[in-house]
Structure 1
């Protein structure tokens, strides 16, 4: 299988430069070894804007006119809606009906059509729209263009902190981890790139241990508050992670909530559960991680206000 290369990531960086924010590395007052890469500061509140912008930039004029479609728990949907609107392309987003209301409303605010479906029907519904309407599918992670776009996070980390030794990156469908590990392995192979998953959605860790993609049923992954990490790896992302990721650790729901609260109070970052898992791993799983100067990727900040309040007020 052809994997994304450093050249692909660098091409994506050029495509997205005028749209995507180059997020800073923020020092942590509670641990001088840790820096945060706050992708929650992107215009749509998550790193997903990188891959979506690159994918739309690579469409032909005819494809843009016909429009795009995707399936998403919210963040990729917002990102694609944002990128499509900028390119004057119609956009439809298929969203699981149990996704956070705040994410659904934000997709609609970007002029995209929203189709709500049971979680198990998101992909098949999006595929039906491709067939019926002739739209181009831009998957949330199972796409080389998207992986290359997400890999720009890794490029920026290496450029801004050449002495980095460990990068912690959340893993859901694996697009971000695939892209980041691709960029970092190519530029600085000595850096350890470690994936982080919720214990309630640890299918990627199981997949890598088994040597093949293991899919957890939606009823199983719905237990985690990290809704952006409930998806399973694809064959494409599995191939990247098997080749380039240095390991995966898991965190509990209580640890995710504690990380959300600490990031809000001490880093002044509003972070959703999926975006907090990398910081949670550094806070609670240090004995399972390589040592050294570490960057935790904070992937998104589109959190339901009630969930954020619960995290902040937990004993």
Structure 2
């Protein structure tokens, strides 16, 4: 059984190596929702994620003989980097099994600390099966990413940092994948203040823990699919579910679109680069998954190791949704000057062309026609309305995409 004292001892082991990350107020969310909302920015941790806390605490507690054998882990990326960092710090070999689709930034991060990386399986659970077999066959120490008491104690140090800074915090919102983070935070927070609320957040595409929480029994997901790859855990660990049932007040879910909105919000308004799993707690607040009016609330921003390609896609879609980018397919007569006339229409509307593609070969076109696919920078919904009206007035056939 993990106790508050275990978590306090973990905090001592982390001191001087693992960062005490910022706890900052989110003024826009606070004003919009009439609450005092804070962000615990563990995306700024040394390895870009909270996972370094549990991994470092575990390796620090091992004796020299166990370390000499080497450590093994299965991870979607963040536990891998945390354990690789800890292994390098204590000079022991680390072998990390990761799903084949793990973002490059996480794979590169693990390798940068000198760990061996094995990419295998479609998800965490398949990587986990391979990792445990490898550890057993080679007499190495397997470090579970969440179902390990020393790992859970390390993650719980986040709650100590929050409540040391704001003693009267009333509500902590925590991402849930396997459940190690929320277990550690909930145990520590409830021991200090039994009345504090703990809310967990899962992704709609990986909702096994939410279903299990509601049924009060483990229910594994048939499959998982979400941009929040750090919490894309298919199977529910009974040990973690028992802790969550005892200490957690509620679990909510957010969609990938809601998570993407939160990633863009944190990037634009807080200058924070946050991965999907790290954004779900903020997404739950933004999309009003529970009542927090007049409360002091903390959202755990658990990680920032997002693939640049994914971030680019989220930004692009976010610009379209917020009417700052407009994509059109316009039908032109395929003759000299036609494209210049179209661009004159956009010039009259004071809009900038950022991308253009000319197609005269589509089978959907009549002879003598061409399609122009064009991306425009726009200044809001009214500006886009003006562009559409001007195109119609000039006789263009077009479709907004």
Whether these two folds match at TM > 0.5 is yes
Structure 1: state its 5+ residue gaps: none
Equivalent in the alignment of 1:44 = 47
Pairing of 1:1-315 with structure 2 (within 5 A): 3-32=1-30, 33-118=36-121, 119=123, 120-217=125-222, 220-221=223-224, 223-231=225-233, 232-288=235-291, 292-314=295-317, 315=321
Is the Cα contact below 8 Å between 1:56 and 1:83 reproduced in 2? Answer: yes
Quote the Cα distance in structure 1 between the aligned partners of 2:93 and 2:103. 23
Bigger radius of gyration among the two = 2
Q: Is the 8 A contact 2:29 2:286 kept in 1?
A: no
- 8 Å CA contact 2:97, 2:119 repeated in 1: yes
Contact (CA 8 Å) 1:192, 1:290: kept in 2 or not? no
Answer yes or no: is the 8 Å Cα contact 2:276–2:306 preserved in 1: yes
- How many Å separate the matches in 1 of 2:5 and 2:24? 27
Which runs of no fewer than 5 residues in structure 2 stay unpaired? Answer: 31-35, 322-401
Give the 3-state SS of the residue equivalent to 1:256 in structure 2.
helix
Task: Please say if residues 249 and 288 of structure 1, whose CA atoms lie closer than 8 Å, have aligned partners that are also in contact.
Answer: no
Q: In the alignment, is the contact (CA less than 8 A) between 2:262 and 2:283 conserved in 1?
A: yes
Partner of 2:344: none
How many Å apart are 1:290 and its aligned residue? 7.3
- The answer on whether the counterparts of 1:158 and 1:188 sit within 8 Å (CA) in structure 2 is no
Structure 1 residue 24, shift from structure 2 partner: 1.5
TM-score norm. by structure 2 comes to 0.76
Q: Structure 1 length normalisation: TM-score?
A: 0.96
Task: Name the CA distance, whole Å, in 2 between partners of 1:127 and 1:254.
Answer: 34
Q: State the shift of 1:289 in Å.
A: 5.3
Q: Using the alignment, how far apart are the partners of 1:114 and 1:140 within structure 2?
A: 16
- Say whether the 8 Å CA contact 1:141–1:147 is kept in structure 2: yes
Structure 1 or 2: more helix by fraction? 1
Query: What is the CA RMSD across the aligned residues, in angstroms?
Result: 1.2
Q: Distance in 2 between matches of 1:291 and 1:197?
A: 24
TM-fit CA distance, 1:29: 2.6
Cα distance in structure 2, aligned partners of 1:23 and 1:37:
7
**1:51 CA drift (Å):** 0.1
Distance 2:127 2:29 in 1: 40
Aligned residues: 310
